[in-house]
Amino acid sequence: MGQTFAQKVLAKKAGLPRVEVGQIVDVEPDVCMSHDNTAAIAKTFAKIGVERVKNPERFVVVLDHTVPASTEEYAKGHKEIREFVAKQGIKAFYDVGVGVCHQVLPEMGYALPGRLIVGSDSHTTAYGALGAFSAGVGRSEMAALYATSRIWLKTPASLKIDVRGKLKEPVTSKDLVLKIIGDIGADGALYKSVEYAGEAIEAMSVASRLVLSNMAIEMGAKNGYCAPDKKTFAFLEPRAQAEYTPIYPDPDAEYEKVLTYDAAKLGPHVAKSHTVDNVSPVEEVEGTKIDQALLGTCTNGRLEDLHLAARYLEGRKLAKGVRMIVLPASREILLDAMREGLVEIFVRAGAMVLNPGCGPCLGAHQGVLAAGEVCISTANRNFQGRMGSNEAATYLASPATVAASAVTGVITDPRKAVRGGGA
Amino acid sequence: MIEGKVWKYADDVNTDVIFAGKYTYKPMTAAEMAEHALEDLDPTFAKGVKPGDIIVAGANFGCGSSREQAATCVKASGVAAVIAVSFSRIFFRNAINEGLPVVELASGTSMIAKDDTVKIDFDKGVVTHKGKEYRFPPLPKEVLAILNDGGLIPHVKKALAATKP
């Protein structure tokens, strides 16, 4: 019997010819990522009593969660992190303004095919889009990794999601992943390795695949893999920090389950508050009044997302009473968006374009919600209280649905909205 | 073996309602975190919880963010163990790493109600509720070793000390 991607990558890292589902392996990740929580991790690391970080070249630190610092406390945390990385010789440090970790690691060439990556952030699954095995861990685990470089992982069973046909514009990978999460539930892939495959995935850009892998955690998955291909290699060509060897599942690998979807039949989908698996076709929530629209984040803050949204906003104004926040996923994307005239379209429409960061997505700052308010967002989570008041509601949708809704002031089917040819 | 009074919750209890995002980057002691435990799920919990109480929930407990404070605040509140049908994998790891015992009762927890008493025998892998016994698989030995050392940090300290010449 052949092996899944998860079996092959974990066997390779453990130095074994093969590993079985359920087998625990002790492995050294190639890359370990942490963000603003590095301040807390450094304190936990100090408790271990080891002076120096072992293998500092394996650690990447990105400041993104509350940037620039909104309070003196956050500023203090950032300062401690700057001092920690300098002292420990962690050179892969990206200070405030560079971008959100889940865009920075692919962009800066750390997220590579065949690599084992762990991060103290649940959406670390994102790097599976480039063919890495990539999972979230906790803060104590990151502190232990500073000391030992090692971690135990259980070899997960695998779930294959085969997506045939092609998505019909303006339906995006966000609609697809919301539909899947709605079908199988927030624990539908619990402890499992998800492998996305099929014609629709092959047709997608790297940016679109990052949405699928980012949101694999929202179905409980340990990682969300897309097979690296020419598009992956082209994306990485000017970026890769090291040589890499792609790993592919065997054709006769054993999956716990195989789900099949037809992309051509898929319409826009929305996750209603307060869970990501509370999904319905956009038609069922059309007309719901919104107060705020959030475009961007590590989920949908890439150039193609901004282009798609701009088609609904070019030459138009936000609906009266609606606020819109645009949160590009990185400085590189912001620069591209400026060069391509997208920032001007958003600002003229009445939106606020913020620096790259996480801010409002987790309710840290920069656009949190009051009781009774409704936000439509391209982010990845809509838990109660996440974006501010626990009496506010967040709907998750694609950039097309968010932009179309910002113009009308109510949740709108982007297929019915007026749109231009794109900037 | 532990015995405690039950706080009962449903499926998909996420880490935002266990420990809100607005607190995650604020430096807090474990005791301060405990004051906010389950704040957006059950405002009566933090004030009413007694040392040795047991949380019992449905499937996918601790889903969402990787924030370890979700486990830290529950442990610091005095809760002796969490029983759930299943756990999100990061919460599961965080709980072990914080020295908070977690019991996966895949057969279901719907028979257990708030304020019931449950008994957990970790060695035998048995939960006892109203005279009935429910079995759960014991934790793998690698995982149990971390829990028995009181969490990952003491476990790593012990392991590093053992390798010193």
CB contact under 8 A, B21 and A362: yes
Q: What is the pLDDT of residue A410?
A: 98
Residues A119-143 have pLDDT tens digits of: 999 999 999 999 999 999 999 999 9
Q: How far is CA A120 from CA A31, A350, A364, A387, in A?
A: 12, 36, 17, 21
Q: Does A362 touch chain B (CB under 8 A)?
A: yes
From chain A residues 63-102, the ones with a CB under 8 A of any chain B CB are: 65-66, 73-74, 77
Amino acid at A143: A
- CB contact under 8 Å between B86 and A136, yes or no, is no
The mean of the pLDDT values for chain A is 97
Provide the chain A residues 386-415 that lie in CB contact (below 8 A) with chain B.
386, 390
H or E segment and range at residue B2? strand B2-8
- Centre a 10 Å sphere on the Cβ of residue B110 and count the other Cβ atoms it contains: 11
Residues of B in contact with A39 (CB under 8 A): 25, 27
Q: What 3-state class would DSSP assign to A171?
A: coil
Neighbour count for residue A372 (Cβ, 10 Å): 10
Collapse the DSSP code of A29 into the 3-class scheme (helix H, G, I; strand E, B; otherwise coil) and give the result. coil
Res B27 pLDDT > 90: no
Amino acid at A335: L
CB burial of residue A241 (10 Å; 0-12, 13-18, 19+):
middle
pLDDT at A217 over 90: yes
Q: Among A33, A386, A390, A394, pick the best mutation site for testing chain B contact (most B Cβ within 10 A).
A: A386
Closest residue by Cα to residue A403 from A387, A419, A379, A421:
A419
Q: What are the φ/ψ torsions at residue A134 (nearest 5 degrees)? A: -145, 120
Do the chains contact at B16 and A381, CB–CB below 8 Å? yes
Place of tokens 């009044």: A289
Amino acid at A260: T
Query: Which pLDDT does position A1 carry in this prediction?
Result: 85
Contact A147 B63 (CB under 8 A): no
Q: Tens digits of per-residue pLDDT, A144-184?
A: 999 999 999 999 999 999 999 999 999 999 999 999 999 99
Instruction: Report the Cα–Cα distance between both ends of chain B, in Å, rounded.
Output: 37
What would the mean pLDDT of B7-18 be, rounded to a whole number? 95
CA–CA gap between residue A293 and residue A319 (Å, rounded): 11
Q: Which residues lie below 8 Å from residue A401, measured CB to CB, with a gap of 6+?
A: A175, A268, A270, A282, A376, A411, A412, A413, A414
In the numeric block, which tokens belong to residue B16? Answer: 């935002």
Distance CA A31, CA A81 (A): 18
Torsion of CA A388, A391, A394, A395, to 10 degrees: 180
Kindly determine whether residue B12 and residue A364, on different chains, have CB atoms separated by under 8 Å. no
Q: Given this model, what pLDDT does residue B25 score?
A: 74
Q: Give yes or no for a contact between A89 and A56, defined as CB atoms under 8 angstroms apart.
A: yes
Q: What is the pLDDT of residue A195?
A: 98
Residue A204 has pLDDT above 90, yes or no: yes
* Higher per-residue confidence, A297 vs A1: A297
| B77 vs A: CB within 8 A | no
Average pLDDT (A355-363) is 94
In order of their start, the domains of chain B are: 2-139 (3.20.19.10)
Residue B22: pLDDT band (50, 70, 90) is confident
Touching B: A residues 220-279, CB under 8 Å: 220, 222, 275, 277
Query: What is the distance between the alpha carbons of residues A291 and A146, in angstroms, rounded to a whole number?
Result: 44
Per-residue pLDDT at B24: 82
Architecture in CATH for domain A269-408: 2-Layer Sandwich (3.30)
Contact B88 A362 (CB under 8 A): no
Nearest by CB to residue A383, choosing from B17, B24, B27, is B17
Provide the percentage of residues in chain A whose pLDDT is more than 70: 99
CATH topology of domain A25-261: Aconitase; domain 3 (3.30.499)
Facing residue for A65 by CB, picked from B25, B153, B160: B25
Angstroms from A219 CA to nearest CA on chain B:
9
**Which residues of B are less than 8 Å from A396 in CB distance?**
none
Residue A419: band (very low, low, confident or very high) from pLDDT cuts 50, 70, 90: confident
Residues B114, B115, B116, B118, Cα dihedral to 10° = 100
Tell me the per-residue pLDDT of A104-122, one tens digit each, with 9 for 90 and over: 999 999 999 999 999 999 9
Which pLDDT value is given to residue A86?
Answer: 98
Q: Which amino acid is at B42?
A: D
pLDDT classification of B165: cutoffs 50, 70, 90? low
Give the pLDDT mean for A267-283: 97
Percent of chain A with pLDDT over 90: 97
Task: Please give the pLDDT value at position B164.
Answer: 73
Model confidence band, residue A314 (pLDDT cutoffs 50, 70, 90): very high
Q: Is the pLDDT of residue A422 over 60?
A: no
Contact (CB<8Å) A152/B143: yes
How does the average pLDDT of chain B come out, rounded?
94
- The whole-number average pLDDT for the span B120-140 is 94
pLDDT at B161: 92
Which residue in A has a C-alpha nearest to residue B154's C-alpha? A48
B126-129/A269-271 β-pairing: unpaired
Six-digit token pair at A13? 């890292």
Indicate whether A330 pLDDT > 90: yes
The DSSP result for B95-117, as a single string, is HHHTT--EEE-TT--TT--TT-E
Residue B111 CA to residue B106 CA, distance in Å, equals 13
> Tens digits of per-residue pLDDT, A30-46?
999 999 999 999 999 99
Residue A421's pLDDT band, with cuts at 50, 70 and 90, is low
Give how far A133 is from chain B: nearest CA, Å.
15
E strand residue ranges, A20-171: 24-27, 31-34, 59-62, 92-94, 116-119, 133-136, 151-154, 158-164
Distances in Å between the Cα of A70 and the Cα atoms of A156, A326, B22 are 39, 18, 12
- Asked if B25 is an interface residue toward chain A (Cβ–Cβ < 8 A), one would say yes
Q: ipTM score of the complex?
A: 0.92
Query: CA of A185: which chain B residue's CA is closest?
Result: B12
Q: Residue A364: its pLDDT value, please? A: 87
pLDDT at position A347: 98
Q: Where in chain A is the domain with CATH 3.30.499.10?
A: 25-261, 269-408
